[in-house]
Structure 1
Amino acid sequence: MQTRTLEQTLERLLSGSRGILAADESQRTIEKRFRAVQLASTEETRREYREMLFSTPGLGEYISGVILFEETLLQNASSGKSMPQLLEEQGMLPGIKVDKGTSDLPGFPGETFTQGLDGLRERLISYHEAGARFAKWRGVLRIGPGQPSDTAIVENARSLALYAALCQEQGIVPIVEPEVLMEGAHDLQACTQATERTLLGVFHALHQQRVSLECMLLKPNMVVPGLESREQASAVQVAEATLRVLRHSVPSAVPGIFFLSGGQGAEEATERLNAINELARHAPWVLSSSFSRALQSPVLTHWAGRPENREEAQQILLARARLNSLARLGQYDPAQEQNLQNSA
């Protein structure tokens, strides 16, 4: 394992009060998001969109790394520079999503396992040569009657652990992402229990696979009620539940926890991240964000493929990233959202 290389990457990803931008949407996902703004998803429109994001002036002040889809990692910007070069010029590290999506778990209706381990060692070598310095693999768990099952937790944990070990072997920092989905009518307590069971299973598998916890990052869900739940949880309640689970299940050796946004709105995710950091003054981990929709949705809606909207869309992205940076410090104020709306 290339320990010093991994440590140097982590130093950059964890530096300042920055977060990680997840811009690794699959072709199917980005097509759905483009369709919502009446924009066709082609290789060119995807390149234009992501180049617009990555070239936002000053973005590197608030974003330390960007998770890319394979297509983007291998693309060139309009200037002829590679996308990784574009990111490096802004002080942001290129990362890569390496899983191949989910498939139904045999014998367990409604549950999934993640594909992509076949040939992963060879792909990681080529990704590193293309400029990627960290990676991401997502396991997906659902809450429902009898779910997540022990089998689903174990199978997803094993895949995450083997992926992480392969990354560290190649000098690539692994982001381990076990996501307990927000979909459903479950309450906060059900999400608490499912998330804790999942994280305990993941760290057991990481230990068995001899993954260096000091040289990885965790990307979990926040503990929240389901999207269809009648229960309303305040930002403080979410923060308390999330921190309780983390303290029960995540070793202090892990240097950083970067929360996914899942189905949360942009303001909602930022407010909850802020509450977590306000309550976690003595936590052993850096607690930051690795948002996708909660960072990109307002930007894509404003841009919508129109060149004349490019600069304003970039200003929205920069402001949204800055607010998340403040939330990492526990210094976010919802009143700051009004300034963002006025500038849009």
Structure 2
Amino acid sequence: MQKNQMEQIKNGKGFIAALDQSGGSTPKALAEYGVPEDAYSNEEEMFDLVHEMRTRIITAPAFDSEHILGAILFEQTMDRKIEGKYTGDYLAEEKGIVPFLKVDKGLADLSNGVQLMKPISDLEDTLKRANERKIFGTKMRSVIKEADRQGIKSVVDQQFEVAKQIISAGLIPIIEPEVDIHSEDKAQSEEILKEEIMEHLNSLPSDENVMLKLTIPNEANIYKELIDHPRVVRVVALSGGYSREEANQKLKKNEGLIASFSRALSADLSADQSEEEFNAALKEAVEAIYDASVNKK
């Protein structure tokens, strides 16, 4: 199946849905969905509720392989089931959508204008379980807030170091060095980031491939060189706090760049919507994001 999934991710038309809000961001994700913090009394109940939300999204008719190539899952979601199947199996077998797994453990404190990833102490075990759950690839996030070359270099170095371990486990890593959309020197950060990524890509052997998840750049098509690089399976974009409309408008200007949106995908979904209302809202979001990923200005 992985060969078919590689073809789907590399050349398919559509986008990657990000359903990977983790511990720290889960209460916010539930609140935006209309589930307040007083609706659960402990972490277990919270994760039950967020799995119900994700299950509702994944099983909705609008969540289909005609528009969606892959979906990024939180670790607990990978280990839970939808309609009797592990989530990765359900996505692949019932929906024809390629499953990915978020593997990072959150962000370290700000230093040199960036936030590195916290150490991933159980990565080897997580990758073993991901293979057992038939996960295709992984995702890990760092954040760049300032155009500090040393800081940005440290982000990219760390990402590729961990990516090597993921590749050796037979999975495709999505490297996500997010540039904060509120950064005063965002464009300069993106120039430095591209240079640092290119240096690592050019040193990868021919049998090692990665994906990139990047903030939609200030300068349209600045990442075209990365998109066309032979070691890059696909470059996807995060919405980064932009509204769906603004993110889609910016995305359309970038040839070859497709979406991997989270909040911009689920912003109009609510726990109290009827199934008809829920699917209509999801369908509108899915089709708009698909259009921005496929139809370029």
Q: Tell whether the structures are fold-level matches, with TM greater than 0.5.
A: yes
Once the two structures are TM-superposed, the CA of residue 215 in structure 1 deviates from its matched residue by 2.6
Check conservation: 1:200, 1:250, Cα contact below 8 A: no
Question: Structure 1 residues 183 and 203, CA, compared in 2 at 3 Å: closer, same or farther?
Answer: same
Instruction: Tell me if 1:265 matches 2:243.
Output: yes
Instruction: Give the counterpart of 2:118 among 97, 112, 115.
Output: 115
Give a deviation string over 1:257-297, Cα, whole Å, max 9, x none.
Answer: 11111011011111222232xxx3xxxxx321101111111
The 2-side partners of 1:275 and 1:315 are apart by 27
The 5 Å alignment of 1:310-329 reads 310-329=275-294
Larger Rg, first or second structure (1 or 2): 1
Task: Indicate the SS of the match to 2:51.
Answer: helix
Choose from 193, 197, 220 the match for 1:242: 220
Aligned residues: 286
Q: Give ranges in structure 1 of 5+ residues lacking alignment.
A: 225-240, 281-285, 333-344
Which residue number in structure 1 is paired with residue 132 of structure 2? Answer: 129
Letter in 1 for 2:199: H
From 54, 57, 65, the counterpart of 1:50:
54
* 1:163 equivalenced with 2:162 (yes/no): yes
**1:71 equivalent in alignment to 2:66:** no
Where structure 2 has 5 or more consecutive residues not aligned to the other structure, the ranges are: 41-45
For 1:10 and 1:214, the matched residues in 2 are separated by 13
Identity across aligned pairs (percent)?
26
The amino acid of 1:27's aligned partner reads: G
Report deviation, 1:170: 1.6
| Residue 19 in structure 1 maps to residue 15 in structure 2 | yes
Q: Give the distance between the partners of 1:212 and 1:104, measured in 2 at CA.
A: 35
User: When the two structures are superposed, what TM-score results if normalisation uses the length of structure 2?
Assistant: 0.87
Q: Is the 8 A contact 2:114 2:155 kept in 1?
A: no
Provide the rounded CA distance (Å) in 2 between the counterparts of 1:91 and 1:63. 9
2:139 alignment partner, SS class: strand
Distance (whole Å) between structure 1 residues aligned to residue 11 and residue 202 of structure 2? 26
Q: TM-score, normalised by structure 1?
A: 0.76
Following superposition, the deviation at residue 329 of structure 1 comes to: 2.5
Provide the C-alpha distance between the structure 1 equivalents of 2:206 and 2:168, rounded to a whole number of angstroms. Answer: 10
Q: Where do residues 1-344 of structure 1 align in structure 2 (5 Å cutoff)? A: 5=2, 8-36=4-32, 37-40=34-37, 42-58=46-62, 59-77=64-82, 79-88=83-92, 89-105=94-110, 108=112, 111-143=114-146, 148-184=147-183, 186=184, 190-208=185-203, 210=204, 215-224=209-218, 241-243=219-221, 245-247=222-224, 252-253=229-230, 254-276=232-254, 280=255, 286-299=256-269, 303=270, 305-306=271-272, 309-330=274-295
The alpha carbon displacement at 1:181 in A equals 0.5
Checking the alignment, whether the CA contact within 8 Å between 1:9 and 1:173 is kept in structure 2 is no
Task: Give the whole-Å Cα distance in 2 for the aligned partners of 1:250 and 1:61.
Answer: 22
Q: Deviations over 1:105-149 (max 9, x none)?
A: 55x4x5321124433233211111112111111121003xxxx32
- Give the aligned CA root-mean-square deviation in angstroms: 2.4
Query: Measured at CA, do residues 212 and 116 of structure 1 come closer, stay the same or move farther in structure 2, by a change above 3 Å?
Result: farther
Structure 2 vs 1, CA of residues 150 and 250 (structure 1 numbering), >3 Å: closer, same or farther?
Answer: farther
User: Which range is displaced more, 211-220 or 49-58?
Assistant: 211-220
Q: Deviations over 1:159-186 (max 9, x none)?
A: 11022212221221111111110124x2
- Note if contact 1:192-1:242 (Cα within 8 Å) is conserved in structure 2: no
Of residues 60-69 and 166-175 in structure 1, the stretch that sits farther from structure 2 once superposed is 166-175
